[in-house]
Amino acid sequence: MNKDAIRKQYIAKRNGLSETQVKQKSKAISETFIASEIWKTCRVIHIFISIPGKAEVDTSDLIDFFYTQHPEIKLCTSILAENNIDLLHTHITPETTYLPNKWNIPEPVERNAVNEETIDLILLPLVAFDATGNRVGYGKGFYDRFLQKCKPHVIKAGLSLFEPAEELIEADDWDVPLDYSISPDKIFSFIKR
């Protein structure tokens, strides 16, 4: 299925959810992820900060879990580089303060740079994904460029409010597939054994 068509379909589906439904699904995603083995050998985890008003998976419970239960694991997130094309990465702590960027994405004010090659696991935002691990985001390519700079075996896990799309997503050559996608009820694995 064409990325633009699936993006439009799933954004409409997401916007049809109430704030309460998004919170409930996000909480279930957090619990499913925490109960998994995916993160347990990781030292540095990259996590996205949810955009207010976009009905995205709310990552605040996951962030709080790592801050309170596993302070030995370093968390980092992205900030938009001055070229408006690339993402830079910075460690975050419970003391980090945030300001919205030009897309209303909360970005850390304090900067403590993180090299992409030190990241063990990336929790990715997505609009939709399919049964083979292809994902659709907002279409700007930020995460695809970011993933190209990471070590080859970085774990890529998408967080999705919905199950996989019924039709396969048409992937481009530069698209980097997921290793996992976590929905409210299930973890989908795309790792070939």
Q: Which segments are annotated as binding site for substrate?
A: 49, 56
Contact between 130 and 152 under an 8 Å Cβ cutoff? The reply is no
Binding residues for ATP: 3-7, 135-143
Strand partners of residue 107: 99
Contact between 181 and 164 under an 8 Å Cβ cutoff? The reply is yes
Give me the residue label for tokens 């064409």: 2
Binding residues: 3-7, 49, 56, 135-143
| Distance, first Cα to last Cα, the chain | 26
* The token pair that represents 41 in the structure block: 């050998």
Residue 62 main-chain phi, psi, to 5 deg: -65, -45
Q: Where are the beta strands (DSSP E) in 50-129?
A: 74-80, 87-92, 98-100, 106-108, 121-125, 128-129
Contact between 59 and 47 under an 8 Å Cβ cutoff? The reply is yes
Listed in sequence order, the residues at least 6 apart from 1 whose beta carbon sits closer than 8 Å to its beta carbon are 130, 165, 167, 168, 169, 170
